[in-house]
Amino acid sequence: MSQKIYMPHLSTAQHAKPVRTRKALRAALVDLLGDRGLEQLSIREITTRAGVGYTTFFRHYPAKEALLNDLAGDQVQQLVEMALPVVQSGDLRESMLALCRYVEGRRRLWRILLTGSAAAATRDEFLRVAEEIVRNQTWPEGWLPAEAGMILIVSGIVELVGWWLRQDDPLPVERMAEILDRSVVTPNVAAVLQQPG
Amino acid sequence: MSQKIYMPHLSTAQHAKPVRTRKALRAALVDLLGDRGLEQLSIREITTRAGVGYTTFFRHYPAKEALLNDLAGDQVQQLVEMALPVVQSGDLRESMLALCRYVEGRRRLWRILLTGSAAAATRDEFLRVAEEIVRNQTWPEGWLPAEAGMILIVSGIVELVGWWLRQDDPLPVERMAEILDRSVVTPNVAAVLQQPG
Amino acid sequence: MSQKIYMPHLSTAQHAKPVRTRKALRAALVDLLGDRGLEQLSIREITTRAGVGYTTFFRHYPAKEALLNDLAGDQVQQLVEMALPVVQSGDLRESMLALCRYVEGRRRLWRILLTGSAAAATRDEFLRVAEEIVRNQTWPEGWLPAEAGMILIVSGIVELVGWWLRQDDPLPVERMAEILDRSVVTPNVAAVLQQPG
Amino acid sequence: MSQKIYMPHLSTAQHAKPVRTRKALRAALVDLLGDRGLEQLSIREITTRAGVGYTTFFRHYPAKEALLNDLAGDQVQQLVEMALPVVQSGDLRESMLALCRYVEGRRRLWRILLTGSAAAATRDEFLRVAEEIVRNQTWPEGWLPAEAGMILIVSGIVELVGWWLRQDDPLPVERMAEILDRSVVTPNVAAVLQQPG
DNA sequence: CTCTAATCGAGACGGTACGTCGCGTCTTACG
DNA sequence: CGTAAGACGCGACGTACCGTCTCGATTAGAG
């Protein structure tokens, strides 16, 4: 029962090629997701666009979905790493502003990540990260269960930012940050923390 | 030359057979969605379960997605028709209570509709209906754009109710209705209507 | 185990309708065989062309092939009934002339009957009729077995007449009759009858 | 987008697999044609018998008919290559003897090739080859047109040999060769060459 | 001249086969 | 070590046509 296909290491940066290959695949996916959803894309198309052999794909990812997850996970990770310090400083409005600015700087990519079939993957990735953060602390028993609050915040951000990026004539970042802060983040954080009333 | 697949009338209740067939297909889909997502299901499986010929499927729906949409549209329609009067009476808390009671009475079905790949279809269906309702009136210019408010309400309800239905030991309906009202519906309705401040 | 489909009587000319229906179907088949072979034709096409309901087809024929056989059998029967007396008068050349004249008068129909997939049915029909005629008499033991002679005569006539009808600028009937007589009929008849030598 | 079915090279004997696959398909077809006609066979059956994937069939042949043609063409080619030298030596009787012996050595295969739906393909293949041979020379103007003669010879051989192979108690090869020579080949060749009389 | 049986049309369906698409595996051979 | 490319098995798709059934017209000819 020998695994015949060679599997390049995901971590050891010994060789540069695997890294380049993966990068090319992710880039190709982003390119193609501009037009159609993930399920309309064939792996052949992705590899061709990436300038990589068809078989090679499977040496790096077991399926299309894994590639998308890799992509989404990467971006979400970066986003969170950028925003978390601001959040922890306590100024939620400022953190939303940072988030919006960051996303606007990668408009094209994030519109794809928050639209169509990719949106689900991105939201799941967000939830995963959020759960990790939430799980490490205990919470006062507000009238809103912590998990529900988390869901509302994550899905609210994802949906609203997606809506924002899909607009033809998008609102200014400051306006968007205000909306996110006032309608999604601050009230739900408060609801989780507040004493029931 | 071209036999062209026959398309039974959707409306004429003259003949009972087409109606029964469609009902059987919807029921089979619900059954199977209990285990797996839509894309893991083959049309053959659905038709077999429904006790219907494979080809017959295409006489009624052009694709799996259409069947799911039919299903989701149906249910959402019913739900909205039930809840809308209560909403218009002005008591939002009461309307959420009605919604939760209605959903709890169809627990199994709605868990499916709000989980996995079906959730997206259900949300879209909700949005479609909500847009229709929203479009027919003009709105005061609150600080939250009407469209954003609608998105938040719909996705909030969908996500939270989905979360509720997936729980092993679910919250009581009254509690759930309170959460929905206080965290999703009332604040967002208010934000759309209120003068900016 | 009741045969639900109503089967109109094939013989009893009680009603004129079945007769007309069958005639229409045969005519439609001839029409359509002008363009394509039998297997490229769908029963729906034939019935549509005949101005007859799809289901009706099966009330008269069990399959496309049966319709074609009906058609071919009919024509072959007529041809043979016309030619047999001349054959039995002993003048083979004259009989070939009669055959060619008869066929030329129904050029279009016979080109279809002797071309493509219909040719096989026509040849089989011929062979069936020929066998009947041959079986009823005993034959002197020539060097050519009677059955082989029959096959050569039938297939020779079918192939050559088919070739003749497909020509753009066809030979005159007299010439054709001469060819058939000299190359196919007379030598083979002789060979069957002659003493071996 | 378009994966387009892969088409293995017909010629490059680089790889042995495609060759083996095609051979297996031909063998399976021969096997199955023993029982039923081509149109009663499904491609699935053929591939299953050949121990080959269903899709693979289409990587090699566009349709069942193509496979049959491949088969028939192959055999006819071999037969003609074997017989042609003998024909050109001038001894027609001897060439018929060679033909009969060759066919008898492959009895089972040739009975299939000359029976039922395969017979038409084989005859066409024969005609194609014969036309090629005939077209390359000019012919004296006998009373029988060269094309008609060719048709008579080819169809005569095909029909008689088919009849021979279908017999329960077949004639000896010498007898069969005599019949073919005296009734089909020699008279028609003579008729094409002779001055009209 | 009616009315009743023979004939037909239309809608719907179950089922078989087709040809196509894409997936994932394997092998072989090349940098 | 990593990749490219050819060939394949497999599962699903969507289509075409077949043959059957039901139901409801229509129509012709016997009374």
pLDDT in tens, D32-83: 998 898 999 999 999 999 999 999 999 999 999 999 999 999 999 999 999 9
C179–D183 C-beta distance less than 8 A: no
Amino acid at residue number C150: M
Percent of chain A with pLDDT over 70: 89
Distance (Å) of CA D70 to CA D10, D23, D113: 12, 10, 12
Mean pLDDT, residues C44-52: 94
**Distance, angstroms, CA B187 to C1' E22?**
48
pLDDT value at position D29? Answer: 94
Verify D-B touch: 3 or more CB pairs within 8 A. no
The alpha-carbon gap from C115 to the nearest alpha carbon of chain B, in Å, equals 21
The answer to whether A24 and A56 have CB atoms below 8 angstroms apart is no
D188 alpha-carbon distance from chain centroid: 21
**Secondary structure element (H or E) that encloses residue D145, with its range:** none
Q: What is the SS3 assignment for B192? A: helix
**Distance from C-alpha of C171 to C-alpha of C180, rounded to nearest angstrom:** 12
Please name the residue that has the structure tokens 């017909």: D10
C94 close to B (CB below 8 A): no
Contact flag, residue D3 CB and nucleic strand E, below 7 A: yes
Taking CA atoms, C108 is separated from C24, C102, C155, C173, in Å, by 17, 12, 20, 16
> Are A and C neighbours with ≥3 CB pairs closer than 8 A?
no
Confidence at D117, pLDDT banded by 50, 70, 90: confident
Q: How confident is the model over C64-77, as pLDDT tens digits?
A: 999 999 999 989 99
How many angstroms separate the first and last alpha carbons of chain B? 69
**Rounded Cα distance, A99 and A107, in Å:** 12
Q: Where are the alpha helices (DSSP H) in B61-145?
A: 64-88, 92-105, 107-113, 116-135
**C163 and D147: CB-CB below 8 Å?**
yes
Q: Does B1 touch chain C (CB under 8 A)?
A: yes
- Nearest residue to B79 via CA among B44, B104, B43: B104
Q: Is residue C13's beta carbon less than 7 angstroms from any atom in nucleic acid strand F?
A: no
Q: Does the CB of B60 fall within 7 Å of any strand E atom?
A: yes
Alpha carbon dihedral C139, D150, C98, C155, in 10-degree steps, equals 50
The nt closest to B56 (CA vs C1′) is: E13
**A26-79 residue pLDDT tens:** 999 998 988 888 888 999 999 999 989 899 999 899 999 999 999 999 899 999
CA of A117 to C1' of E24 (A): 23
Say what the pLDDT of residue A7 is: 58
Tokens 């002797």 map to which residue? C114
Q: Are A154 and A100 in contact (CB under 8 A)?
A: no
User: Residues D106-117: what's their mean pLDDT?
Assistant: 92
Q: Any idea which of B2-11, C119-128, D50-59, D107-116 has the lowest mean pLDDT?
A: B2-11
Name the residue of chain D whose CA is nearest to A36's CA: D1
Q: What is the pLDDT of residue D1?
A: 44
Nucleotides on chain E that have an atom closer than 7 A to a protein CB are 6-27
**If we measure between CA atoms, which residue out of D135, D160, D164, D129 comes closest to residue D147?**
D135
Highest mean pLDDT pick, A116-125, B109-118, B157-166, D114-123: B157-166
D55 CB closer than 7 A to any strand F atom: yes
In one-letter notation, the amino acid at residue D48 is T
How much helix, strand and coil, in percent to the nearest 5, is found in chain B? 75, 0, 25
d(CA C137, CA C192): 13
